[in-house]
Structure 1
Amino acid sequence: MPKGSLLGQEKEQTIRGLLASLAKPAPGEALIDLAYIAGAFGVKGWVRISPFSADADALHEVREWFIAPPQGAHARGVPWLTSHLHVRVQQLKSQSDGLVAKFEGVDDRDVAHALRGATIALPRSAFPALPEGEFYWVDLIGLEVRNRQGIRLGQVEKLFSNGPQSVLVVQGAVQGKPKEHLIPFVGVYVDTVDLSDRQITVDWQPDY
C-alpha cells in the first residue's frame, strides 16, 4: 500500500483482484499511446481521460482498450498496476477538457482512482478507417518533407494542435545548421501525403 492510503486491506485486495482479472499480455503489434487516465470521475467507477493528440478520436469508435502501467510524467497512480489491462468500454462521453469513460467491472471510485496515471493505448490495426484525405498523426511521424521544388526540408518529428488546425514539426537543416519548420497541416501548405512513399510535399521554403 502507498503511504497515506485510506483504503482498508479488504478494499486493497478487491482492487488487486479486479486488476489481476483484467490483466492481459500486450498484443504482438506495437500499441499506440492515445491518452492517459487523469483520475476518478464521480463515485460509480467512471474515469477522466486526457488525450495526448487528435489520434485519440479513435477511442470513440473502439470499445476494447489496453491500459498500460503509469509511466513518465503521469506515473502517480497506485503502484500495483504493473501489467497491461484489457478493458471493455461501457460508456464514453466527451467533455470540454477531455473524455469520461465507464469500464466494464469498474464500479466504484476507489477502483477508478487506482487507474490514475495509466496510459490508454490501441494497436494501430484497431484504428477505424478515415475518409480520404484525412490522416492519423501517428502515420505522419517520420515522413520525409519536401517542397514543390524537391528541396528536402526534413522529417516530421511530431505534431501539435494550435486549436483550429494541426501543425507539423519538421526537423531539418539549412546550410548545415539545424532548422525547425512549423508547417500548418492544411491544404494551403500541404500538397500531397504519400504514405506508401513516406513523403509529404508542401508549399514551403527552406528559410521560412
Structure 2
Amino acid sequence: MTDMICVGAIAGAYGVRGELRVKSYCAVPEDIETYSPLWSEDRSRQFALAILRPIKNGFAARIPQVATKEDADALRGTALYADRDQLPSLPDDEFYHADLIGLDVYDTGGVLLGRVKTVQNHGADDLLELQLVSNSATTFLPFTKAAVPTVDLAARRIIADPPEGILPDARD
C-alpha cells in the first residue's frame, strides 16, 4: 500500500488573481482542505490549500505560493496527495482506490483472471478495470459485493465472481 492517497487535482486558474480551480476526490468534497498540507505525486512540492468557495465541479481555492493567473495555470493537472495517516480509517468493506490498483484477481475456483489496472466511476458503482492474463485485453468488473465477494489487502488479491458476459468467451 502506498503512503500517499490522491485526494484531488488542480484544474487550472479561477479568475485573474491567482485563485485555483480544484477538484476534490474525497467522499465529502470539502474534506480536501482538512488534509493540508497536500503534496505533488513526487513530493517535490507542498501545498497549503485553503478553500474559498464552492464553484461548478469543484472549489475556488488559494495556495500561498500562487499569486497570478499564470502561476495557477502552470499547476493545471497537478494531482494533490495527502499522507495516508491524515485520512480516516475505513470500515472493513470500503477501500481507497489506490489500494486496489495492482491487486491480482482470481475467480472463485482459484484461477488467475488478471490484475486491477484502474478503478473507474462513471456515476453509479465503481468499476475495476482488469488487465486479463488470458489475452492481455481489459474488461470492467462491477465492484459490488456480488461480483467481488472478497478483497484481501494483506494477501494482495481479490476473489471475483464475474457476472455472465464480463469475461471473454474461451471459444472466441
What is the aligned length?
164
Aligned to 1:37: 10
Aligned to 1:118: 78
2:36–2:82: 8 Å Cα contact kept in structure 1? no
Structure 1 position 198 matched with structure 2 position 156: yes
How far did residue 84 of structure 1 move? 2.6
Identity %: 29
Corresponding position of 2:131: 171
Q: CA RMSD in A?
A: 3.3
SS, match of residue 138 in structure 1 = helix
Question: How much does 1:120 deviate?
Answer: 2.3
Deviation at 1:196, TM superposition (A): 0.3
Q: CA deviation at 1:108?
A: 4.9
| 1:103 to partner: Cα distance | 2.2
Can you give the 5+ residue segments of structure 2 that lack an aligned partner in the other structure? none
SS of the residue corresponding to residue 178 of structure 1 reads coil
Matched, 1:102 2:75: no
Say which of 88, 104, 109 aligns to 2:48: 88
The answer to whether 1:65 aligns with 2:38 is yes
Query: Do the aligned partners of 1:55 and 1:137 also contact (CA within 8 Å) in 2?
Result: no
How far residue 30 of structure 1 moved from its aligned partner, in angstroms, is 6.2
Gaps of at least 5 residues in structure 1 are: 1-28, 70-82
The structure number with the bigger radius of gyration is: 1
**Deviations 1:109-154 (CA, angstroms, capped at 9, x unpaired):** 4543443343323344443322331111110011111122222211
Q: Structure 1 pair 31/135, CA: closer, same or farther in 2 (3 Å)?
A: closer
How far apart in 1 are the matches of 2:143 and 2:53?
A: 27
What's the CA shift string for 1:14-34, capped at 9, x where partnerless?
A: xxxxxxxxxxxxxxx865555
TM-score, normalisation: structure 1: 0.63
1:61-100 residue CA offsets vs partner (Å, 9 max, x unmatched): 412112469xxxxxxxxxxxxx932221222655442343
The aligned residue for residue 159 of structure 1 is 119
TM-score (normalizing by structure 2):
0.73
